[in-house]
Amino acid sequence: MLWNLKKVFLTEDEVLNAEYDLDLSDLDFNGCAPFQSPVKVSAYAENRAGIVDLAVTVKFDYAAPCDRCGEETITPFVCCFKHTAVQSLVGENEDDYIEAPDFVVDLDSPVTADILLSLPAKHLCKNDCRGLCPKCGKNLNEGDCGCDAKDTDPRWDALKNLFVEE
pTM reported for the whole predicted model: 0.77
Q: 87, 64, 61, 88: which is closest to 75 by C-alpha?
A: 61
Per-residue pLDDT of the chain (166 residues; tens, 9 = 90+): 999 999 988 888 889 999 999 999 998 888 888 998 999 999 999 998 888 999 999 999 999 999 999 999 999 999 999 999 888 777 656 667 888 888 899 999 999 999 999 988 888 999 999 999 888 889 999 988 888 767 677 787 778 777 666 5
Buried b (16+ CB within 10 A) or exposed e, 18-57: beeebebeeeeeeeeebbeeebebebebbbeeeebebebe
Q: 66, 59, 36, 64: which is closest to 126 by C-alpha?
A: 66
Q: 49, 43, 109: which is closest to 98 by C-alpha?
A: 109
Q: 26, 46, 44: which is closest to 36 by C-alpha?
A: 26
Q: 37, 45, 4: which is closest to 21 by C-alpha?
A: 37
Buried b (16+ CB within 10 A) or exposed e, 67-76: bbbeeebeee
Q: Could you give the 3-state DSSP secondary structure of residue 119?
A: coil
Consecutive H or E run containing 62:
strand 51-65
Consecutive H or E run containing 117:
helix 108-118
Res 50: pLDDT: 80
